[in-house]
Each structure stands twice: as structure tokens, then as C-alpha cells.
Amino acid sequence: MVAACKAIEDGDFAQARHHLNNLSVDGTHPGDVEQLRRLILQKEAEATKLSVNRIGLAFAVAILGYAVLSYKSPDAWGQIVWGLLAFLVLPILAGGLAGTSVANGTKPAKFWRAFGITSISAALYTLVGLSIARARMHSSDKSMDFAIYLVVAVIYGVTAGLIGGVAGTSLPAARKGS
């Protein structure tokens, strides 16, 4: 019973279920087993809710951050400041939040969660920024715009995603109360 409670406290629900099965086989009182099963379900639901909240927060941080960056052109920020914000600060913040949403996850799971959120956000920022800049130009030949937008968005997205993914695997996972 103590081992199952410890596993629940650590957020290791698979291990908690394993201990629960052992308790039911060992002849522990069915009422105690049922109470422990309900506790596991409750704590799992809380962990899932926290994970979803952190994913939403990570995406919101990225989108709001890129919205602030898009308020002024990169020249207004200065190329170095803009580059640091767009490719280092925002991916690290969003990737860190997204990576911590995977409690007891493997490093690859944390990496891909953080990579996905940061790369999609950076790619969207790039597509919107390029579209607005291109709309202001007075050129009639727009035949290659889609291909150029796609290539640049993928490059920016992958760059930000890699940085966010590394940040997501470098921070400890969310624990209860955090």
C-alpha cells in the first residue's frame, strides 16, 4: 500500500497500478483496493489537466511573443535583439513549458512535444510576416511566393523547434503542486 501511494505521489501511475494489482492478488481488503484505484484515477485526471494547461500556456507564450515581435519590423528591434528573441528566448520559454507538460515522459517525448509547439509557432509567425511584407510590395510576379514562404517557414520553424526541443528536455517535468 505504501509503495502504491509513493508511486502516485511521484506521478508514476503505471507503477501505482502495478502495486494495486499486487495488492488485490495478495488479498488486501477490497475496500482499500477500490479507494486506492479511485485515488489513482483522480491523480491521473489532475496530471492530464495540468499537462493540457501547460501545453496551452506554451502555445500562448509563443504566439503572444511572436505577436509582440511582429509589432515592429526586425530593423526596429535591431537584428541581434530580434534574432535572440525569435530564435532563442521565445523557443526556450515555450519549449520549456511544453517539455514540462510531459510528466514522467521520456526525453524523446518531451523533445517532440516542445519541438512541435515551438516549430509551429515560429512557422506561423514567419508565414504571416512574409505575407504582410509581400503584400506591401508592388510586384506583379508572385508565382514563386508559395514555395519561398514554405521553405523559409520550414527553416525558421525547424530552427526554433530544435532549440525549443532541447529546452523541453533540459527542464524537469511538472510535479504535483507546480
pLDDT at 81 over 60: yes
Domain regions of the chain by residue span: 53-170
Round to whole Å and give the CA distance between 143 and 130.
15
- What pLDDT digit, counting tens, does each position of 146-168 carry? 888 899 999 999 999 999 999 98
pLDDT score, position 10: 73
pLDDT score, position 17: 83
Higher pLDDT, 156 or 142: 156
pLDDT band at 48 (very low <50, low <70, confident <90, very high): confident
pLDDT at 133 over 60: yes
Round to whole Å and give the CA distance between 22 and 1.
9
Percent of the chain predicted with pLDDT > 90: 24
- What pLDDT digit, counting tens, does each position of 7-38 carry? 777 777 878 888 778 877 787 778 887 888 88
Stated pTM of the model? 0.72
pLDDT band at 101 (very low <50, low <70, confident <90, very high): confident
CB 108 within 8 A of CB 168: no
- H-only helix segments in the chain: 2-10, 13-25, 30-71, 74-77, 79-84, 90-100, 107-136, 145-170
- What pLDDT digit, counting tens, does each position of 104-126 carry? 678 888 899 999 999 999 999 98
Round to whole Å and give the CA distance between 62 and 47.
23
pLDDT band at 88 (very low <50, low <70, confident <90, very high): very high
Higher pLDDT, 80 or 12: 80
Q: What is the mean pLDDT of residues 54-68?
A: 89
pLDDT score, position 89: 93
